[in-house]
Structure 1
Amino acid sequence: MPGIARGPGGAGTPRYLPVSEHGLIGDLRSAALVGTNGTIDWYCCTRFDAPSVFASLLDAEKGGSFELAPDVPTRTKQFYFPDTNVLITRFIADDGVGEIQDFMPITDDSREADRHRLIRRVVCVRGSLPFRAYVAPRFDYGAQPHTVRTEHGCPVFESPSLTLALTSSVAFETDGRDVWSLFKLHEGETAVFALDRIGGDVEPRACPRSEAADLFEATVRYWRQWLSQSRYRGRWREMVHRSALTLKLLTYAPTGAIVAAPTTSLPEQIGGERNWDYRYVWIRDAAFCVYALLRLGFTDEARSFMQFLTERIRRADDGTAPLQILYGIDGRCELPERELPHLEGYLGSAPVRVGNQAVDQLQLDIYGALIDSIYLYDKWGEPISSAHWDTVCHLVDWVCGNWDQPDEGIWETRGGRKNFLYSRLMCWVAIERAIRVARRRGLPADLLRWSRTRDTIYFRIMQRGWSNERNAFVQHEDGSVLDASVLMMPLAKFISPTDPKWLSTLDALGEELVSDSLVYRYDPQASPDGLQGEEGTFSICSFWYVEALTRAGRLDDARLAFEKMLTYANHLGLYAEEIGRTGEQNGNFPQAFTHLALISAAFNLDRALG
């Protein structure tokens, strides 16, 4: 539980910052979280799902961190350099003002990309300030020992699996394991720190002040050029563009994969066991990301992801599902889940997990999310190829033969398979969207079988997914539990947003699952999910609720709910997976699913308001 950090100059610092007190930086291969106190307390080098180097977010003592801050009491502010993913942390003291500029250069040169350079520029902008730096990596989630040696005047941290070099414009001391420096800057002076992965073809290389300044400008230029492709000009441009920049940060450039979040095991409930590894590609999340990015005009990302998905699809003859629900960012299928008992977890929330055994689950809804994104790509991006169409036909034929199986559902419950309405709904979407593409493009398809199955699913949902007792659509067939996933019914164009049955469902959800615009997924007491403890409201569901209100014509309610949701973002406009009872952000951070839902809700609400 919260105590006091004891690193040099760190006495009196809380052991764990709130999750929301962080910003994200990255190089489209890996990412780091930087706290408002100037500490990097999460960083996986060389890729999103690599073992951590800094993980004090999961164990303040054993996880490792890169502290950098004034050595005097300060007030702090943090913001992104406008229209970029370059993070600025400002420190305001009695005798001066300083700032840290944190970024990871984006490079297409494979050799330099393998460097995975992380740059921290310290600038004294007023007066003078003493600073302290304390670099304490802990390799392989804190499980591997390491040593420090000096090479060309630079500390080199060496472990069996990874070697990092720290180049700096200030001198360091070392105890053979960690390094630290105390230095003072006067107005206009700058110090530079660069942390590089070295080995193989990548040699240690200094990062002088001039090169750091050039890389800063190049990184700013990259992000601004990328964002300039956006077509969004609506009311919430700043929040929408921040969400787009975040989704881009969560993209693994070598394959086009989009991770669900850059972190693992940040708890859905403090002290609870709902702690999962999200550093992988969920088909559902990534397909929705394609929708959001296409809406804004980012077609390259959609094209890369489509290629990634096509390469993942199996064509087995034994009835095996053609897709897993998640993959590694390199496309690998095996993601064994294990616990790291030597780490205490964020605020004592154990277990800390790496890997994710949900990879073995059956979740039928992913086919609807995927084929809907293919339909939208064909409509807004570029016409899909004949090879892609063959793949779509293979998927739809499989769905036609398997849609009525029970599964674990969108929420990946570990309480047994059920006939979830959302899974049925998205199977309907998979077939319906494929029919649209076939008819618009004149492509060959078994339209008779597809149409018959689509209609069978429709009637099954209307008959067995509807509860006369609740006067609402419910979580699973012949049940009575409400579930926020049914908010997708009008969004997926399954039912009219003003249909009386839908409006009564919307009212029921509002009464039971909505709290001040925040939406719970379901009541785990009424529908046991195989896990202990409570959870917060799910931010993606809150944005779905905004969009459902919008489509129902309840624009005043929708706008108020949306504006309220914006107040739950952190100071940078970032969202974790959930929001707790007192407004705190819980779960892995930041979460792609939430940001793509924000984009969709903003786009549709803005259009409806005119």
Structure 2
Amino acid sequence: MRYLPIEDHAVIGNLHTAALVNLHGSIDFLCLPRFDCPTVFARILDAEQGGFFSFTPADKDTRYKQLYLPDTNILVTRFLSADGIAELTDFMPIAETAHDFSIYRRLKGVYGHHRIDVQIQPRFDYARQGCRAELAPDGNGYLLHDPAGEQPSLQLYTRAKLEISSSGLSGVIDLAPGQDLDFILTFANGNSSSPGWESAFNHCRHYWEKWSAKCTYRGRWRDPVIRSALALKLLTSIHYGSTVAAATFGLPEALGGERNWDYRFTWIRDAAFTMYAFLRLGYTEEAEHFMDWIRERCVDSLQLMYGVDGRKDLEEMALDHLEGYAQSQPVRIGNAAYNQRQMDIYGELIDTIYLYNQSGGSITIDFWKDIVKLVEYVIAHWRDKDHGIWEVRSGEQRFLHSAVCSWVAIDRALKIAEARSLPAPLERWRKQRDELYHEIYEDFWNEEVGAYTQFLGSDTVDASALLMPLLRFVSSKEPRWLATFAKIEEKLLADVLVFRYKLEHGAEDGLEGEESSFTICSFWYVECLARIGRLDEATVAMQKLLGYANHVGLFSEEIGIHGEQLGNFPQAFSHLSLISAAVQIEKKRPSH
């Protein structure tokens, strides 16, 4: 296979960037020095040109197993062959500064002798550049340079003797029983000695174990909840406090289709939902750091999404020289949605600020003044059309979810003001909130369909309506919402898999092709089952849905009709909604 399935990957990271390691132990994706920078390895997007760092056993019948060490993001890949067992351990030390980067890789002969082919082929700048390799001047390892000089040079520390070629480094090693062989890839800095493996490993393991121990969830799904929290943490910048929607770009929502987006940016919506998940698990420091990022960069002129560092221009372009995962083109970097109007982000952000306030977070008067500006913007624009939560490219509409979140923005700001006795035009805000509520309740209801539909005048059922009780707009016993829930079950449900929407009667979203079930919608469905009292069904649905996770418990954005994972990976949306569903089921379980 030129391309392993998307789900046949795990992720490691240093809280500044992340790498995808496939089930056979090859690093097939890595951006440097941070999430939204150019790639050095991108074989997952082009099997020939993308670049990779692989270990391949000589025995072609080798079987592979992969796991994380408990409560950590340290990855172990096992090579199981007729000769015995070899093991590869991968991790990245936590970044201390904005320019820290190292990947530690240790091959270990557990039992028997093993011959392993090593290939290290960086392709800098999204594979638009090759690699120039040479011995390190002091003879301690090898240097790998970007021929254009745009990305930092890398140094590989290893005792292995490798051959230098125009494509990088290669060699064949013989691994004896009990033998360890280290490969440490880091930025070239002129150090004369290799960083120590043992101290780096122990420091990294203790960091993740200590972080995982802070989790307050103690329910039946602790393992997948912890794995989801660890994945969300890996997608969070330790330097800025922002969080990316996914580690990758260009992975298709449907094989051969054009829905191939760059998700390595900070969406206000995704980040707000991520902070909500962190707060529900007791991780207040992450929310505090994100609030600092919001206060410093975004509140004065809020846009949909930003670079990790807060930059606003995320121009979209296609990398035509890459064939795309399984020939799915175009491979896009940047995201044109950054300049879309999406009114729902105000409610999602202010709801998270409200939860942050409830958990004891600080709302300074200057921060409050910025929140007031956001609320006044919502009041002035809640009747405006926008592109909605799904970022359709077929034109603006009055989307249901955007209207509900506009109500949430005003409602939560009122609650913050009342809880903190902060100055605000409370009566005017209440009047606007209530007017908006009545319009949504009456005008967005489609009597012919028997449901709240995607946008004003639409007859399309949309899974985002599942959020109405989650955002406390309606009770989970509200008859009109229950009718909408039943319509979602009828039209969008395949067992426990939920589609965002299905275009009917000539409707279109501005893009070609079909899409698969959306994992966040599937977990919303599970949470709604729990909220309306169908707890046994929710419990079974949760367990079945968890069965679609990959071999190390990770989810991409979508699940296809053959059970395959599709879209960018790992996806924050999928994991934060898993956490929310697990917490809600636990809350509804009778105490004994």
TM-score (norm 2): 0.97
Matching residue's letter, 2:7: S
Do the aligned residues in 2 keep the contact of 1:196 with 1:204 (CA within 8 Å)? no
Partner residue in 1 for 2:134 = 149
Q: Distance in 2 between matches of 1:255 and 1:175?
A: 38
- What code does the residue aligned with 1:231 have? T
| Alpha-carbon distance in structure 1 between the residues aligned to 2:423 and 2:82 | 73
| Aligned-partner Cα distance in 2 for 1:247–1:517 | 23
SS of 2:308's partner is coil
What is residue 158 of structure 1 aligned with on the other side? 145
Instruction: Could you tell me which runs of 5 or more consecutive residues in structure 1 were left unpaired when the two chains were aligned.
Output: 1-13, 316-321
Q: Which residue does 1:414 correspond to in 2?
A: 393
Give the alignment of 1:451-470 within 5 angstroms.
Answer: 451-470=430-449
Q: Distance in 2 between matches of 1:420 and 1:103?
A: 43
Counterpart of 2:158 in structure 1 is 168
2-structure distance, mates of 1:313, 1:94: 57
- Could you list the per-position Cα deviations for residues 251-286 of structure 1 after superposition, in whole angstroms to 9, with x for gaps in the alignment? 111110100001001000000000000000000000
Q: Distance in 1 between matches of 2:302 and 2:481?
A: 31
How many Å separate the matches in 1 of 2:192 and 2:372?
A: 52
Question: What is the alpha-carbon distance in structure 2 between the residues aligned to residue 204 and residue 45 of structure 1?
Answer: 20
Q: 1:103 aligns with which of 91, 102, 109?
A: 91
1:304 aligns to 2:303 (yes or no) = no
Match of 1:138 among 116, 119, 123: 123
> Does the CA-based 8 Å contact 1:129-1:185 persist in structure 2?
yes
CA contact (8 A) 1:264 1:353 kept: yes
Deviation (angstroms), 1:524: 2.9
State the distance in 1 between where 2:41 and 2:410 align.
Answer: 45
Instruction: Give the structure 2 partner of residue 403 of structure 1.
Output: 382
Name the counterpart of 2:410.
431
Of 80, 84, 95, the match for 1:92: 80
1:273 and 2:258 are equivalent in the alignment: yes
Which of 16, 20, 31 aligns to 1:29? It is 16
1:185 matched to 2:175: yes
* Within-5 A mapping of 1:220-239: 220-239=205-224
Report if aligned partners of 1:466, 1:474 keep a CA contact under 8 Å in 2. Answer: yes
Cα pair distance change 1:312/1:119, threshold 3 Å: same
Q: Which of residues 531, 534, 558 is equivalent to 2:511?
A: 531
Which deviates the most, 556-565 or 396-405? 556-565
SS at 1:511's partner residue? helix
Listed one character per residue, the Cα deviations across residues 130-172 of structure 1 (whole Å, up to 9, x for unaligned) are: 1121000101011123311211332211112121111112110
Q: Distance in 2 between matches of 1:597 and 1:508?
A: 21
Instruction: For 1:372-387, list aligned pairs within 5 A.
Output: 372-387=351-366
Alignment check: 8 A CA contact 1:294 1:381 kept: no
* Partners of 1:192 and 1:207 within 8 A in 2: no
Letter in 1 for 2:467: M
Give the Å deviation of 1:61: 0.5
CA distance in 1, matches of 2:420, 2:294: 22
Runs (4+) of structure 1 exceeding 4 A deviation are none
Partner of 2:479: 500
User: What amino acid does structure 2 have at the position aligned with 1:23?
Assistant: A
Q: Distance in 1 between matches of 2:314 and 2:449?
A: 40
Residue in structure 1 matched with residue 369 of structure 2 by the alignment: 390
Tell me, what secondary structure is at the counterpart of 1:485?
Answer: helix
CA contact 1:53–1:139 (8 Å) conserved in 2: yes
Deviation at residue 240 of structure 1 after TM alignment: 0.2
Question: In the alignment, which residue of structure 2 is the partner of 1:290?
Answer: 275
Partner of 1:28: helix, strand, or coil? coil
Partner of 1:256: 241
Cα RMSD of the aligned pairs, angstroms, is 1.2
Instruction: Note if contact 2:299-2:371 (Cα within 8 Å) is conserved in structure 1.
Output: no
Pick one of 18, 40, 44 that aligns with 1:57.
44
- TM-score, normalised via structure 1 length: 0.94
> SS where residue 195 of structure 1 aligns?
strand
Q: Cα deviation per residue 1:492-538 (whole Å; 9 max; x = unaligned)? A: 11111011111111111001001011000001345310000000000
Name which of 6, 9, 15 aligns with 2:2: 15
Classify 1:173/1:290 alpha carbon distance in 2 versus 1 (closer, same or farther; 3 Å): same
1:167 and 1:205 in contact (8 A); partners too:
no
8 Å contact kept, 1:546–1:558: yes
SS in 1 for 2:252: coil
Residue 180 of structure 1 aligns with an amino acid whose one-letter code is S
Give the CA deviation at 1:80. 0.2
SS in structure 2 at match of 1:297:
coil
What is aligned with 1:585? 565
Partner of 1:3: none
Instruction: Give the AA of the match of 1:584.
Output: E
CA offsets 1:531-577 (integer angstroms, 9 cap, x no match)? 00000000000011111111111112211211111011001110000
SS at match of 1:194: strand
Taking only the aligned residue pairs, the percentage that are identical comes to 47
SS at match of 2:36: coil
CA distance in 2, matches of 1:236, 1:105: 28
In structure 2, distance between residues paired with 1:298 and 1:314: 23
Name the stretch that deviates more: 136-145 or 327-336: 136-145
Find the residue that maps to 1:449 and give its secondary structure.
helix
Counterpart contact for 2:298–2:310, Cα < 8 Å = no
For 1:279 and 1:479, the matched residues in 2 are separated by 32
Query: Which of 344, 348, 359 does residue 323 from structure 2 map onto?
Result: 344
Contact 1:280/1:326 (8 A) holds in 2: yes
Rounded to whole Å, the distance in 1 between the matches of 2:198 and 2:38 is: 30
Identify unmatched segments of 5+ residues in structure 2: none
**C-alpha distance in structure 2 between counterparts of 1:66 and 1:145, whole Å:** 14
Q: Distance in 2 between matches of 1:115 and 1:70?
A: 31
Whole-angstrom distance in 2 between the partners of 1:107 and 1:421 = 41
Match of 1:76 in 2: 64
Q: Which amino acid aligns with 2:232?
A: L
State the Cα deviation string for residues 35-83 of structure 1 (Å, max 9, x = none): 0011110011110011100001000011000111322131110000111
Aligned to 2:523: 543
1:490 corresponding residue in structure 2:
469
How has the CA–CA distance of structure 1 residues 566 and 205 changed in structure 2, closer, same or farther, with 3 Å as cutoff?
farther
2:407/2:436 contact within 8 Å kept: yes
- Which has the larger displacement, 339-348 or 304-313? 304-313
Q: Which moved more, 1:90-99 or 1:172-181?
A: 172-181
Give the superposition deviation at 1:115: 4.0
Task: Provide the aligned length of Structure 1 versus Structure 2.
Answer: 583
- Give me the whole-angstrom Cα distance separating, in 2, the residues matched to 1:114 and 1:357: 28
1:252 counterpart SS class: coil
Q: Is the 8 A contact 1:365 1:423 kept in 2?
A: yes
The more displaced of 546-555 and 169-178 is 169-178
**Equivalence for 2:579:** 599
Q: Is residue 149–residue 176 contact of structure 1 (8 Å, CA) maintained in 2? A: no
| Aligned amino acid, residue 516 of structure 1 | D
